[in-house]
Amino acid sequence: MERNRNNIRSCKLFGDEKIEYPVHFDLKVIMTAAKPDKENKELIGSVLIRLAIPHSGWRSKQSRQGSYTSYSVAVTITDDATMKKLYRELAFIPEVKYAL
């Protein structure tokens, strides 16, 4: 496990395996619940739009104690550079605690 600039842990989920693009998956982002749900979705959505990543089907769930909210959205990633940019840009959002 490594830690990035915002002290978010990251790992090489696929190790040295090559990912075949395009890839479709549910992106999950865990954020602090300090901001309203709409603002958090807009923060994530702005990254997806800026990177021209097709996305749909937003879902959210608040933690038991209400401290965090997890957001899931179906995405389609077309290449490795876009995948790396996505996680890099999400890491710069202060409210993001984890993205997978």
> For residue range 46-100, what is the model confidence (pLDDT) as tens digits?
999 999 999 999 999 999 999 999 999 999 999 999 999 999 999 999 999 999 9
Q: Which CATH number fits domain 21-99: 3.20.20.80, 3.40.50.150, 3.40.50.2020, 3.30.70.260?
A: 3.30.70.260
Q: What is the pLDDT of residue 2?
A: 46
Domain ranges of the chain: 21-99
CB 97, CB 8: distance < 8 Å: yes
DSSP state of 23: E
Geometric angle at alpha carbon 69, from 63 and 64, rounded to 5°: 10
Coil vs helix vs strand at 31: strand
- 7-30 pLDDT tens trace: 544 455 556 678 889 999 999 999
Distance CA 57, CA 26 (A): 9
Kindly report the pTM of this predicted structure: 0.82
